[in-house]
Structures are given as structure tokens and as C-alpha cells.
Amino acid sequence: MAMTITEKIIAAHSGKDEVRPGEFVFARVDLALGNDITAPMAIHEFETAGFSSIFDKEKIVLVPDHFTPAKDIKSAGSAKVLRNFAGKHQITHYYEVGRMGIEHALLPEEGLVLPGDLVVGADSHTCTYGAVGAFSTGVGSTDLAAVMATGEVWLRVPESMRFVYKGELGQWLGGKDLILYTIGQIGVDGARYRAMEFTGPVISNLSMDGRFTMCNMAIEAGGKSGVIVPDKITEEYVKERAGREYRFYTSDEDACYEETFEFDVSGLSPQVALPPLPSNSTAVEELSHIKIDQVVIGSCTNGRLSDLQEAAEILEGRKVNSAVRLIVIPATQNLYLEALRRGFLEVFVEAGGVVSTPTCGPCLGGHMGVLAEGERCLSTTNRNFTGRMGHPQSEVFLCGPAVAAASSITGRITHPAEVMQKRGRVRLVE
């Protein structure tokens, strides 16, 4: 019987030959993730339920990344809960400050999530890992507690939606523009509890960084997961990182999809999502009158090396507008170090920006860039809900790194072409 990649992975982890959308299963988990906001609650439930041991010390990952380095006594206490639990159960993959990163960039970088895996995390953007051909989805803290004890998760097999991208992406466009455009077409509930499968010629040529960005924001359309069938680009990414076996699954040609969308993205402009929803996407040219107070380049969505490079190419030899705060956050320590080696961080600082240690920070209004009343931020993060980054009367606009960098120079939402008279001299990614 024909199945999608999502159905094949779930079937394989449920001990079944096949599964169907709507079916409820208990599935074996390859990896379970918690952070400094969600894991303390899971640990409390784990211990309250009387569990004395975890299912596998190699398959639980704890990453303090949201409020770290600790911003206050409460956040320091939350991080301590993770640290103590990891020590008590000898959890292999606990990442302390100085060795950590934003979780959804860190796990793929470390080779912890691989093609064919079934991954759950107590964070909604766990859907990021579908970029390597895994089924990954967010769960609640109570679910995480049960998974840490049993190694299994109870879930409903989602229906699948297929998104086919044709044409050719223009300069300065990437995965962020594709996913903002897509969410704009279907709405924030257009993929509710469905697996969003991204495919087509444009996806085949999209970098892994761009794929991570797209799958990361599947949840912003209500999706249960995002996924891309693995290919040569995937193989090139995972082969040097993987410390265990993995498996490439594909979707059968006659697999059943709830809906199929085809988009010709030739001529698509860089996208910006207006507050208060990621679905309020429009062409950047339509918003050139909007002034901004802050720009954030980073997060689990756009804090990877190609994002930093793109921003550095635009900012090299230029200055951040005197009315704008530019905050740049490399997503992991390794990315921070590589960006330093390549001169990107020097470009940001010389332009008048600041560079932070890896943290979710301003994305959720935690720290490192909280907004005051009436302020506007243009951000490469994934959510722009009311009050998301600070005061309820502040505003967040979402975009890709090129638009963010260009706008930090002009002080208003700006197409990168407006500030680029010649290509920057930044060393290119090899």
C-alpha cells in the first residue's frame, strides 16, 4: 500500500507494515528533547510519577538555550534543574553554556537527528528536523516526561499535504521567503495537524540551511511537522556528522495527500510578514515606508552560517542607521567560531551592531533585545504575535537575513537591492 515519507517513518517506529492518517499508534522514539523552559516541568512530572530511571541516556537531549546565559535568579534555577537531572541520570547529551547552541540548530549540527528518525521535543519548533528526512514534532512537557521514562510516544498519524515549488528563486531569496509566502497562501491554520511535505525543483536546489528554515516554520501554519525527502544534499550534510546508521525514506508516487499546492516562485519578491501573524506576508517593496527601531538576525530559523554570510555581505563597509539597534545571534558556538574566522563578526561590529552568544533570547521576549512600548523590530525569527518580543504595544515584522541587514542600514524596511551597488568582499562559504 502506498505511503508518504511521514507514514513510512511512523510505521517503522510503530512495528507496523503500514499506517494510515487518523490512526493512533505508540511509536518508538529515537531522540527526545527538552530545554530550560519546558524540561523543568517534564522533570517534575517524571519524578512526581515515581519514575526512577530514563529509557536511554543516549537518546535524551537537554539544552538550556532560551534564557541562557541566565538572565535572572529564576532562569538560573531552571537551568540548574536540567543540569542536576542530567548529572543524576548520566545523560550524554547535556549542553552547558559555552558548548551549547540554539537547540534546533545544535542537534542537526551535532549529528543527533538523522534521516529516518522519529524525534519529539518539548518545543513547537522541533519540526525543524524534517529537513533531514525525519519525522519530528513538538510535544507537551507531560508527554516528554512519559517519553523520557518509556521511550515511546502516543500520537495520531497526520494527514500529509504536498507543496511543490517550481521556477527559479531570485537573488536575496531563500527558505524564509518560501515559507512566509506559503503561510501567507494557506493561513496560520491551513496545515493544522498535517505533515507539510516540501518538494519540487526549487527545493531540490535549496541548501540545507534553507530547508531547516522551511521545516522550522511548519508549525506557524499549524502543521504537525515539516519534511523534505532526503537527497544528495541531505547525504552531503549528514554523512560526516552521523555517529550511527540512518535510513532514507521516500514518498511513493501514488501516495495519498490531503491537498497539493503548486507555486511558481519565479519573480517572487523577498517576503515580510506584518504583525501579528506570520501569514501576513507581502512583498518587501510594499513596506518601504515603515521605520524600525531594532533588527534581530539569528534564532533557530535564521542563525546559521549562510544567514550570517548573507547579512555580512550587505553590511560590509556600511553602517547601521543611528536610530536602529542591530543584534546578531549565531545559532551555535561552532557557528559563532566559524563566523569569527571568516570575518563576519568583525563586519557586524564595525557596522555598529552587537553580537551575542547563542541564545533564543529576544525571539520569545526573553532577554538580549526586549522591545519597549511602541517600538518596531524587523526580525529573522519565526513568530510575530502581539507581545511576542516585549511590550504588547510593540510590533515584530518577520523577514530573511538579507532584508534584515539592508533595513538596519536604512532604518526602514528595505529591499537588499536598494543598498547593494556592488557585491561585498566577505569571504564566501566554501
182 lies in some domain? yes
327 lies in some domain? yes
405 lies in some domain? yes
Residues 284 and 386 in one domain: yes
427 lies in some domain? no
Give me the pLDDT at residue 13, please: 98
Residue 357: give the domain boundaries: 272-419
Residues 291 and 346 in one domain: yes
Give me the pLDDT at residue 29, please: 98
Mark which of 204, 236, 263 sits at the end of a domain: 263
Give me the pLDDT at residue 429, please: 44
Residues 154 and 289 in one domain: no
Residues 305 and 250 in one domain: no
Give the domain CATH number at 33: 3.30.499.10
Mean pLDDT by 10 residues, the chain (430 residues): 97 98 98 98 98 98 96 97 98 96 98 98 98 98 98 98 97 97 98 98 98 98 98 97 97 97 98 98 97 98 98 98 98 98 98 97 96 98 98 98 98 96 47
424 lies in some domain? no
Are 328 and 312 in contact, with CB atoms under 8 Å apart? Answer: no
426 lies in some domain? no
Residues 289 and 258 in one domain: no
What's the total number of domains in the chain? Answer: 2
430 lies in some domain? no
Mark which of 237, 263, 289 sits at the end of a domain: 263
Residues 225 and 297 in one domain: no
Mark which of 246, 263, 280 sits at the end of a domain: 263
Residues 233 and 288 in one domain: no
Residues 217 and 287 in one domain: no
Residues 69 and 182 in one domain: yes
Residues 244 and 298 in one domain: no
Residues 276 and 257 in one domain: no
137 lies in some domain? yes
Residues 222 and 281 in one domain: no
